Amino acid sequence: MAITAPLVQPASHLWSISPWRISHVRRELADTFTLTLDPPADAADAAAAFLPGQFNMLYVFGCGEVPISISGAAGEGGRLKHTIRAVGAVTRALRQLRAGDVVGVRGPFGAGWPIDDTAGSDVVIVAGGIGLAPLRPAVEAILHARERYGRFIVLYGARSPEDILFARDLGRWSSRLDTYVDVTVDRAAGAWRGNVGLVTALIARVGLEAEHTVAFLCGPEAMMRFAVGALAKRGVEAGRTYLSLERNMKCGVGLCGRCQLAGHFVCRDGPVFRLDRIPNVFQVREL
């Protein structure tokens, strides 16, 4: 797994896309799938370098480009995974692609999770829905250097038992004695033996020492708003809370202006922000 400093995008190739080949398509959920991408031969080394939480712009020939978080690395040779939910024209076009097809890639872009800076702390990961995708590399990175962290807690909320993303990974993490994993769903019937309720209920129940804890959040913005409230109730302050935001973006490097949010460009200064650096985001509507 290659996790190193972000690349500096050479200016002369700012807009150039490089063709990556799909080596594998995995259906995750009814509307969600993971593409495993092989870098072009001349870019394999550089391509492997990414920070958990960073994203690539993925291009479908003639159709358009969308920012998609990197949801994992795969083996050697700089292979990357992107987990995508088909919700619009480009993501639906991505879903039509098969192994062997080519996707245009620009990136990786943005600031990732503070994996190194939070070593020594307890870490609580709070994910909702497809928000687990940009957090999966963070979980893997922490597990990779597990001894550098204190308690490690992964809390995940999904719509229903059928909508639980990366169930196999959740099971694998959960089987470790040094990691606490809890999952909840909004609605369930019959055979489901797990939790039902909002992910905030998991935050209220989990044992944590606020002053040693940092939280990483990713999910729908309203879910993060509620989760931030639940964490604050447990004493986890904004200065120890990190979240990944989503905004409309076209360039990925702070030039197109679309993802400007207060004093930041989400593509360049985020998508991962420390909450106290974006204090207005949940207070002011339609910001």
Task: Indicate the annotated binding residues.
Answer: 251, 256, 259, 267
* Cα gap 111→108, rounded to integer Å: 10
Q: 61-91: string of b/e by CB count within 10 Å (b at 16+)? A: eeeebbbbbbbbbbeeebbbbbbbbbeeebb
By the rule CB under 8 A, 11 interacts with other proteins: yes
By the rule CB under 8 A, 285 interacts with other proteins: yes
How far, in whole angstroms, is CA 56 from its chain's centroid?
Answer: 12
Report helix, strand or coil for 139: helix
Cβ closer to other proteins: 119 or 277? 277
- Residues in 68-107 that interact with other proteins by CB under 8 A: 85, 87-91, 100, 102, 104
Nearest to 155 by CA among 173, 176, 137: 173
Q: Residue 133 CB, nearest distance to other proteins (Å)? A: 13
- Residues in 162-201 that interact with other proteins by CB under 8 A: 163, 184, 186-198, 200-201
The contact pattern for other proteins, residues 116-155, with x = CB under 8 A and - = no contact, is ------------xxx-------------------------
Q: Show binding-site residues for [2Fe-2S] cluster.
A: 251, 256, 259, 267
- Residues in 219-258 that interact with other proteins by CB under 8 A: 219-220, 222-223, 226, 246-248, 250-251, 253-258
* Cα gap 108→105, rounded to integer Å: 9
Alpha helices, DSSP H only, in 26-80? 44-47
- Residue count of the chain, please give it: 287
Contact assessment for residue 152 and residue 122, using Cβ atoms and an 8 Å cutoff: yes
Among residues 18, 36, 56, 241, which is the contact residue for other proteins, using CB under 8 A? 18
By the rule CB under 8 A, 27 interacts with other proteins: no
